[in-house]
Amino acid sequence: MLQRARDGDVRTSLDLTSARKTSSTSTRGAAGQYHVRLRVDMTYYTCINKFKYNCMSLMNISEAESQVMEVFWSTEGSLSADDVVAAMHNDRDWSAGTIRTFLTRLVKKRALTATRDGRRYLYRPLIRRQDYVDHQSRKVIDRLFGGRVASFITHFSERQNLSRDDIKELKRLIKRLDHDG
């Protein structure tokens, strides 16, 4: 979770996807949590998580690694490397060794955690799919459309045929945002 630091240690929630890291420091907090301060556009944000770099690992997951993460996001509980290999067998033409390499990388990036279970490891995700999707969406919009969602929607609607259902959903969203704002 990323939160904006305020006076008196009061924090309000902020989506990590909207932050661009320019510099950071970290300190160990209570109960094994790390507080990572990010300097973002002259504002400091605090990333609070049980694992020091978990909040930052969203930025470093490759497309291939995200496909491995999809296996975890589509199931509940922990999975062994063999479980992941079996789940991906039909989707990709990757060897078991390649998939194990991706698992190792994802553990190093703090996207997965590994717990020893006898002679094997059980893996589980530390990053929620929604957080990953939010981050990736924001990256595309920031990079290609200067951070403007309206420019993205305009571009997309001019290049693609939107269905009536898409248009209705966009109208409902605008109405809801207009009402909430």
What is the per-residue pLDDT for 14? Answer: 37
Q: Cβ neighbours of residue 46 under 8 Å, at least 6 residues apart?
A: 2, 3, 4, 5, 11, 35, 36, 37, 38
Query: pLDDT tens, position by position, for the chain (181 residues)?
Result: 444 444 333 333 333 443 444 344 444 554 544 444 443 333 333 343 444 444 555 568 999 999 999 999 999 899 999 999 999 987 788 999 999 999 999 999 999 999 999 999 999 999 999 999 999 999 999 999 999 988 988 898 888 888 899 889 989 998 998 887 6
pLDDT of residue 3: 43
Q: What are the tokens at 109?
A: 């990036």
pTM surpassing 0.75? no
Give the Å distances, CA to CA, from 150 to 42, 147, 154, 167, 169: 25, 9, 6, 14, 15
Top CATH class, 62-125: mainly alpha
Boundaries of every domain in the chain? 2-55, 62-125, 129-180
Domains 62-125 and 129-180 share a fold: no
- CATH entry 2.60.40 includes domain 129-180: no
Which pLDDT value is given to residue 160?
82
Tokens 């989707």 belong to which residue? Answer: 91
The pLDDT value given to residue 96: 94
Helices 63-73 and 96-108 cross at an angle (nearest 10°) of: 90
